[in-house]
Amino acid sequence: MTNSTVDKLYDIASKKRVLLIGDIMIDSYIEGSVTRLSPEAPIPVLRTDLQPKNILGGCGNVAVNLNNIGIHVDAISVIGNDLAGVVTKYLVSTMENINYILYTDPNYKTIVKTRYVEEHTHYQLLRVDIEDTNPEVSNEVISKIIDSTDFNQYDYIILSDYDKGLLDKYELLYEIGQSKAKLIIDPKPNNMPYTNKAYILTPNVHEYEKSSYFGSIDTDYIVVTLGKEGILLRSKTETTVIKLGNPVHMYNVSGAGDVVLAVISACMMMDLPIVSACIMANDCASYTITEPYTSRITYSKFIENLLCIV
């Protein structure tokens, strides 16, 4: 494949209207060194003089990956009226390719996942989650989203479901399902009934095995992430396992599913075959999990893999 072919693929993608909608959160990292155990309990002491590193997670990480790839999309998420919501607004504003609309729900708590990490090995020592036990977006905010969004204008709608109170609302899902857009969904088993009209589903292997719903669902493709085993692609006629090209050392897998969702979506926008999209997603995700922090692909790495698939 030549650079001119890449330009043509991006030109094809630029003509598609795409909406990303889902649960946004902040992934916060506090790094330090460990040299001793605490005298108070059998736990390591993490010494740090660094401020937390805040990056977007959840649906926000899907947006970051699409932004890095160079794909233009609209995006919708919900935040709370809190400090974490302010930080989320700032992080969203740094993405030049994403038109991100954040709806504020005063009764919703913006989700923050803080990871304490040893700076030399990048091993995670502890994760602290700040969120409601049963997060729920109010009906008023759902109505605002529906009234303000013309779902029919989109060729693709990407749903990034972390089961955090947005994508379990019947009214919203009904409007999305009635649109002409092809749906690419990273689903959660608790919300499976809404996936009936999906074009592509991208569950991980644990979600795939947990829900019997995948056995009967009428969708064009199910792309199952298998971790170090690669990707399982199931169509209406056959099932294929796409292996990783080379074994990789994993720092962490946080956000790897977001990379797969973003890369699959970008490839669909470029009208690439689904098998090529899965190979791309495999290679891009296997690269990102060797890096510290939440997984995200770079433009150069995406192009490098794109040049190899044909």
Q: Give the number of other Cβ atoms within 10 Å of residue 216's Cβ.
A: 7
191: left (phi over 0), alpha (psi -120 to 50) or beta: alpha
Sign of CA dihedral 13, 15, 19, 25: positive
> What per-residue confidence (pLDDT) applies to 209?
86
Burial of 35 (0-12, 13-18, 19+ CB in 10 A): exposed
> What per-residue confidence (pLDDT) applies to 106?
96
CA distance 187 to 150: 22
**pLDDT tens, residue order, the chain (310 aa):** 567 889 999 999 999 999 999 999 999 999 999 999 999 999 999 999 888 999 999 999 999 999 999 999 999 999 999 999 999 999 999 999 999 999 999 999 999 999 999 988 888 899 999 999 889 999 999 999 999 999 999 999 999 999 999 999 989 999 999 999 999 999 987 776 666 678 999 998 888 888 777 777 788 999 998 887 889 999 988 998 988 766 555 555 667 889 999 999 999 999 999 999 999 998 888 777 666 666 778 899 999 989 888 6
In tens, the pLDDT along 74-107 reads: 999 999 999 999 999 999 999 999 999 999 999 9
Tokens coding 186: 């990273």
> What per-residue confidence (pLDDT) applies to 294?
65
> What per-residue confidence (pLDDT) applies to 283?
86
H or E element in which residue 10 lies: helix 3-14
Q: In this structure, are residues 303 and 1 in contact, taking their beta carbons and an 8 Å threshold? A: no
Q: Give the number of other Cβ atoms within 10 Å of residue 144's Cβ.
A: 15
Q: What angle do CA 142, 28, 90 make, to 5 degrees?
A: 55
In tens, the pLDDT along 180-231 reads: 999 999 998 777 666 667 899 999 888 888 877 777 778 899 999 888 788 9
> What per-residue confidence (pLDDT) applies to 72?
96
Fold of 3-34+52-306: UDP-N-acetylmuramoyl-L-alanine:D-glutamate ligase (3.40.1190)
